[in-house]
Amino acid sequence: MNGTAWSALLINLVACAATAGALLLATFAVAVRRGLHRIVDIAWGLAFSAVAVVTWLLSAGHGDDGRRLLAAAATVLWGLRLAAHIARRSRGHGEDPRYTALLAKAPGNRTLYALRTVYLGQAALVWLISLPVQAASYSSAPLDLPAFCGIALWALGLAFEAVGDHQLACFKQDPANRGRIMDKGLWAWTRHPNYFGDSLVWWGLYVLACTAWQPALIVLVSPVLMTALLTVGSGKRLLEKHMSGRPGYAAYAARTSGFFPLPPRRTARGTPERTK
């Protein structure tokens, strides 16, 4: 990457920080007006998509067109699918218990606390996690085998996430499953196929970036941070805390991998245990 490309990338970093900040601030204004902070989850995917589009526009003439398009398209597709899924899932529901619990602990003004910890915090995370997308777009290296391996990893992650979400949605639509634990399909192999798929998406985008940009350690923060958020941050940890008291969940957790897909553990008779 030459000096001109470096300068252009720095401008891109500033523009993307502004883009993520503006979108999350707009979401904050809508959330306060509606009294519903859960809509920030929809903005999460949209913010990544917006950053990818801005990067694609600003990187024109600086990076390889094929790599630029691939990085932008992959991120936009992932972000829009996630936003649409969360919007459908949230329709008709009130506030998310996570935000109710968070704001209940707010020291001082709850609205300002939400702005600092939720909205500005998520804007910063979007900017940081999107580093591989930004970096890949400023490489002049043409697409090569490692880049396509990264996209293959991204595609596997997207499929895993989308299929897991679809299976769970269908399960919840059946009144006969009310109060039961989903343990079929991908959910028999991991308690969080959607989170695992999400993690793979960003490891794939990292591979796409680091094969083109030598300081790979800088953009490594993206998949590591996303995986940490999904496993020990606000993802898996909080969801399992919420689910722990439901009948059948302890048995499901005992036989099913917590993150990486693995065959369900078997009983002494050699058959997988199932929730009754």
pLDDT, tens only, 214-239: 557 789 999 999 999 999 887 787 78
Task: Band the pLDDT of 1: cuts 50, 70, 90.
Answer: low
Interatomic CA distance for residues 65 and 79, integer angstroms: 21
- Measure CA of the first residue to CA of the last residue in the chain; give whole Å: 58
Residues 6+ apart with CB under 8 A from 71: 52, 55, 56, 132, 133, 136, 137, 205, 208, 209
Handedness of CA 157, 163, 165, 171 (dihedral sign): negative
Residues 264-274 have a mean pLDDT of 55
Residue 248 tokens read as: 């059948």
Residues 66-70 have a mean pLDDT of 96
Residue 15 tokens read as: 């523009």
37 in Cβ contact with 96 (< 8 Å): yes
Host H or E run for residue 162: helix 145-173
Measured from the Cβ of residue 274, the count of other Cβ atoms closer than 10 Å reads: 15
Provide the whole-model pTM: 0.91
Interatomic CA distance for residues 197 and 189, integer angstroms: 13
Place of tokens 């499901």: 252
E strands, the chain, are none
The pLDDT tens digits of the residues spanning 119-153 come to 999 999 999 999 999 999 998 889 999 999 999 99
| pLDDT reported for residue 217 | 75
Task: Band the pLDDT of 276: cuts 50, 70, 90.
Answer: very low
Task: Band the pLDDT of 97: cuts 50, 70, 90.
Answer: confident
Torsion over CA of 175, 97, 95 and 46, rounded to 10 degrees?
A: -90
Instruction: Determine the distance from the C-alpha atom of residue 184 to the mean position of all C-alpha atoms in its chain, rounded to a whole number.
Output: 23
Task: Band the pLDDT of 242: cuts 50, 70, 90.
Answer: confident
